[in-house]
Amino acid sequence: MPRVGKTTSPMIPCVCCVPVRRPVQVAIAEDGGALHSSYTLTVSFLATRPPAHGSMDSSSESDTHDRPRGHRLRVRESRMRPDSRYPRDTNVSEISDKIETLANTLQDTSRNLNKVDQMLGQYREHTDDQTEAMATLRESLEESIQQLQGQRLRRSRGGRSASLSTLHTSDLEDGNSSERRRYLPTSPLKDYGSVDTGNRRRSRSVAVRFQDSARSEEQIHSLHQSLRDLLSDQLRMEDDIDREISRRNRTDIETRKTFESLAGHIQASQREEPVSLRVERRLQEIEDEMRSGRQVLSERRHRETAKHMSGELQEALRRHDAQPPEADETFRNRLQRSETEKSKMEQELDRLRRQLDQSEGGRDTLLQQMYDMRSQLLRTERERVDLQRQFSLLQSQQQKSAGGHQERGVTGHGRERTELEREIEDLRVQLGRIGASSEVEELRQTAERKEKAKNQLAFRVEALSADLERREQQQLRMLAQLKEIQSRSEESGADRARLDAQLTESERRREELRSKAQEAIRQWKAKCRRQERELQELKDESRCDSDKARRIKERENVLNQQTEAARRQLADALGHLAQREEDVRRCDVDLAEARSRLTALEQDLREARETSRGLEEEVQKQISLQGRLRDENVRLQERVELLEQRRDEEQRSLLDLQGSVKNLSVARADLTAKLAEAESSRKELEKQLAVARDEISSLGRQLEREKEVHQKELIHVRTAHSEDKAKQDKDVHDMLRLYQREREELEALVGDLKSEAVTDNELRRALQLKLDKMKTECDKLTEQLSTSEESHAQLLRKYHNFRKELDVKVKLAERAEEKRQTAEDSTAELRERVTGLQTEQESILHAIGAQIDSACQFLSKDSDAKLQAITLTPGLQKDPHRWLAEAKTKLHWLCEEVREREAMDRRLKRTLQQQKEQTKTLKQSRDSEQQSLLDRITQQDRLLQDIQSEKRDLLEKSRRREEEVRHLQDRIADLETSTRLALDHLESVPEKLSLLENFKDLEESQRQREMVEQRYAKYKEIVGNLQHQLEESKRRIQEYRDDKLDAACRSLNLTGLTSSLRSQSNFMTSTTLSNSTSPHKYLGSADLDSSVTQQHYSPVNGATSENTSM
């Protein structure tokens, strides 16, 4: 009698109808600027329909899982026909209607949210415009930088090579190379060309000049540059070598870690994740880290190469720019520079010694790097041996697994069902181990990577050897520069002798200049005395003529001043009138704009009211929907209770199931088919293993050949390295001998230079004392010269002036007789002109009086009595003094009127300023409120997105639960068919065996029932959570709408207030200006203030009334 097979899949009872969840999705997607969210709401309900067959990932391994689908459907139909006494669900139509209403409400909410998204999109467009403007600015800056670089390159091509060009501050200055000395940037690789061409020549003035003094300075400067460049290059090389060493150590540590992780992964090959994926992932991470490290190093190198300009060069440039023009100060500075150059020469010698010591230390570090590279090559060979061992271990494991599989396959056909199940489990484990072939390919890839790493190490060794050669060349250059320093020190001694000779010449020239200056001063003093006498005589003659001409000019000036003053007053009055007219026109334009804004705001208010009404209707609809959803929840709970009753009945029916004997026979047939498939797969795997062994053997041969080739290369490299080392040692010994000799010579030279320096210091002190005395005398002489020059210049000016006056007076004396003859004619002409001027004056005064009267009438509003008192009478026009007095009173009255109007304008401007400040505060408050609303909107968006993600997770879980339920229902139908077959077969089986099997089946059914109860409880919790989340999402949406309504109302209130304030300010300016420009109406101050206050309060009250109505 066969035993009943155990099934681990949970079962659910089903008699007539299968509850299936239908998902109905209503999607709302807004593509806004700031809000880009999608709300999905799924309404799941239960309906009675035949279940669809879907593939699920269940934990069952039953015997009936692999049956064909047609048999299951036939069994399901046969089971559902006799049990049709249970009622079907008739609430499908009602639920579909509810879903349609839900969809409509959600569409309405989506429209409202679209409006909010449009508003936020406008804000986002504004920020996008700002970012575009910033981008254009950046592009323009980049273009300007590129243009500057191009200009710098063009300049640098004329004076130096373009191999290593860096941007300096001097490149951005004006290219006036002739005005000051050019200090070129420091670089030993550059060809600076001729230096003497760019030097500035002083003018051939009376001063001390030194011949060829700039050449020695520039030579010393070039020597400074070369030494600094050598130091900087050596420091950079040392830093680069240290970084390379640290990077290589890191890569060694990382490769060790990767190989250790590979070994651990190969030992743990039975895990779910294959080793190849993990190894590839780790290697990819290592490669990314190496790339990032290289990028950082390259960026640092670029930054360091850009910093060539040293601080000492900048100080030298400043000193050169700040050089005084006097010969004495230049002489002092040059003496001080000679002393500082001596000290610098000694310091540079010490630096050169240190650099030689450092170069020897750098050579030792390079040798140490060579030894490190050799050790890395040995490590790679060891790792290859370890990989070969791992290959052999994998091969042995595969052979063992294949042998065990064959033994199980031979003995598996004659054993019982339990052994067959064990063999199936073993086959599954072996299928997992077959992934060793993929690991072999991974190991092959690692071997190829090791070969690439070895090639890279060889290239690095070559690069290090090139660095050694470069260092040796630099040392040779430094020795040549030491020789140049010695020659330059000799040249500096010769320059000092030249300077002494030039000093003596300058003293002699100063004495000659003193004598010449004293003689010139005496001559000028005598000339000045003569000219003063002549001037006094000319002054006496010119006084008589000047008095007459002055009297005539004073009369003409008085008349001209009176006419000009009257014209200016008229022009001012006309200008004020034109300004008033322009202000009136601007106020009219502002009024038109304010009226258009008011109409636009009224339209916005109407739209806002319509939106608020629509939102209230939507709120009412949602309240009704909430009531319907509660009713649906009550109905669903009732249906859950019905399902529990059905489950109890199905548990009672499960007690009647008494074994599945025929199921075991069918399962045995399935197992035999599976075993045949397993044997065929085993044969294929054996073939694959044979192919993999062949590949492993070929790979082992290739590795041995490559190992031999690498060993030969290593021997060759070692021999070459030993030869290079011997050559380098010989060269170093020779260089040290030469260096010692040169060092002794330099020490002797330094001693001589020190003795010369002591004598030079004594001479310098004596010369300094002489220079101080000369300087004091020169200062006194320069002061005397300056005073004499100033007095001489004044005398010259006076002389020229008097000479001109004399010429004029001589001409006047010659023409005096002619003037006496023409005086009578001129007096007659003058009388005629005076009469004409009087008539013109009367006409002008009449016109001025008419214009003043018109201005007074224009400005007079309520003061006609004052005007009548001031106006002219016909008899007074003959008296000009009275007429002038009356004109002055009228002008004074006009000034007072203008002042009053200006005071009114100031008051109005103050009120306007206050209103502008109020509008600014209101705008700021509105902006802050809008920002807070935007922050709240973003927070709500985040919450909605979180809710959406949670909903999706819950929907996926519910879908999985539904599929599990469907699968369990299929299993139950299969069990029912198997129970019928078992009942037919139990008639021929003894009762004891059937009882034992029935007891086992009952235990299994009890376990399955407990599992089903647990799953049902979980499903119930999930449904409750979904309902709770739906309610929370509705509540949040309602809050979000309320916030939107509050924000819209506040923005409308603020816009109404700002528009009212603007209209008020515009209206006030327009009214005041119209009153000031109208000639016939004049309002008092009290009336104007009352009208302003009325217009100030009327729009504000209107806005408040509109807000209260809203």
pLDDT digits (tens, 9 = 90+) for 997-1055: 655 666 676 677 777 777 777 767 777 777 777 777 777 777 777 776 777 776 676 66
- How far is 306 from 227, CA to CA, in rounded Å? 18
pLDDT of residue 995 exceeding 60: no
The pLDDT, as a whole number, for residue 13 is 41
| Vertex 947 angle, CA 946 and 951, to 5° | 120
Long-range contacts formed by 1077-1081: CB under 8 A, 24+ apart: 1077/577, 1077/580, 1077/581, 1077/584, 1079/857, 1079/858, 1080/861, 1081/861
Quick one: 192 exposed, middle or buried, by C-beta within 10 A (0-12, 13-18, 19+)? middle
- How far is 832 from 568, CA to CA, in rounded Å? 28
Question: Nearest to residue 621, comparing CAs of 44, 100, 94?
Answer: 100
The helix/strand/coil state of 651 is helix
- How far is 611 from 594, CA to CA, in rounded Å? 25
283: pLDDT confidence band, cut at 50, 70 and 90? Answer: low
Rounded mean pLDDT of 507-532?
Answer: 74
- What are the pLDDT digits (tens) for 541-555? 667 667 766 776 776
- How far is 269 from 265, CA to CA, in rounded Å? 6
| 143: Cβ contacts below 8 Å, ≥ 6 apart | none
- How far is 631 from 432, CA to CA, in rounded Å? 54
The pLDDT, as a whole number, for residue 1073 is 45
Q: What is the dihedral of CA 213, 214, 216, 222, to 10 degrees?
A: 170
Percent of the chain residues topping a pLDDT of 70: 57
The pLDDT, as a whole number, for residue 190 is 41
- How far is 530 from 523, CA to CA, in rounded Å? 11
Q: Please list the residues that pair with 22 across neighbouring strands.
A: 45
Rounded mean pLDDT of 387-398?
Answer: 68
- What are the pLDDT digits (tens) for 754-769? 888 788 788 878 888 8
The pLDDT, as a whole number, for residue 463 is 77
Question: Nearest to residue 1055, comparing CAs of 928, 952, 919?
Answer: 919
- How far is 624 from 693, CA to CA, in rounded Å? 75
Structure tokens at 142: 């980049």
Rounded mean pLDDT of 280-303?
Answer: 69
- How far is 31 from 13, CA to CA, in rounded Å? 47
Question: Nearest to residue 106, comparing CAs of 28, 180, 165, 186?
Answer: 28
Question: Nearest to residue 670, comparing CAs of 60, 9, 61, 53?
Answer: 61
- What are the pLDDT digits (tens) for 52-93? 343 333 333 334 444 444 444 444 444 444 443 444 444 667
The pLDDT, as a whole number, for residue 784 is 81
pLDDT of residue 166 exceeding 70: no
- How far is 856 from 691, CA to CA, in rounded Å? 122
- Least reliable range by pLDDT among 16-20, 388-392, 752-756: 16-20
- How far is 997 from 4, CA to CA, in rounded Å? 7
The top-scoring range by mean pLDDT among 317-331, 389-403, 862-876, 1087-1101 is 389-403
In a 13 Å sphere around the CA of 55, the CA atoms on its Cβ side amount to 1
pLDDT of residue 703 exceeding 60: yes
- What are the pLDDT digits (tens) for 777-812? 878 888 888 887 887 788 888 878 877 888 877 787
Question: Nearest to residue 545, comparing CAs of 557, 553, 555, 534?
Answer: 553
Max Cα–Cα distance, the chain, nearest Å = 177
Residue 24's φ and ψ, nearest 5 degrees, are -115, 110
- What are the pLDDT digits (tens) for 325-375? 455 566 567 667 766 776 776 677 677 667 666 655 655 666 666 667 667
Amino acid at 145: I
| 15: Cβ contacts below 8 Å, ≥ 6 apart | 83, 86, 646, 649, 650, 653
1098: pLDDT confidence band, cut at 50, 70 and 90? Answer: very low
Rounded mean pLDDT of 639-646?
Answer: 79
| Token pair 């509540």 in the structure block, residue | 1035
Q: What is the 3-state secondary structure (H, E, C) of 463-482?
A: HHHHHHHHHHHHHHHHHHHH
The pLDDT, as a whole number, for residue 986 is 60
- How far is 53 from 857, CA to CA, in rounded Å? 105
Which helix or strand (DSSP H or E) is residue 970 part of?
A: helix 880-986
3-state DSSP helix/strand/coil % of the chain, to nearest 5: 85, 0, 15
- How far is 229 from 248, CA to CA, in rounded Å? 28
| Vertex 36 angle, CA 35 and 38, to 5° | 120
Structure tokens at 508: 């002699």
pLDDT of residue 918 exceeding 80: yes
Amino acid at 975: L
Question: Nearest to residue 228, comparing CAs of 316, 336, 321?
Answer: 316
- How far is 847 from 3, CA to CA, in rounded Å? 139
| 654: Cβ contacts below 8 Å, ≥ 6 apart | 13, 1005, 1009
pLDDT of residue 299 exceeding 50: yes
Record the pTM. Answer: 0.21
The pLDDT, as a whole number, for residue 741 is 81
pLDDT of residue 8 exceeding 50: no
| 104: Cβ contacts below 8 Å, ≥ 6 apart | none
Whole-angstrom CA distances from 198 to 52, 180, 370, 664 are 95, 8, 48, 108
- How far is 458 from 454, CA to CA, in rounded Å? 6
- How far is 666 from 66, CA to CA, in rounded Å? 11
The pLDDT, as a whole number, for residue 697 is 78
- How far is 801 from 795, CA to CA, in rounded Å? 10
DSSP 8-class letter at 873: P
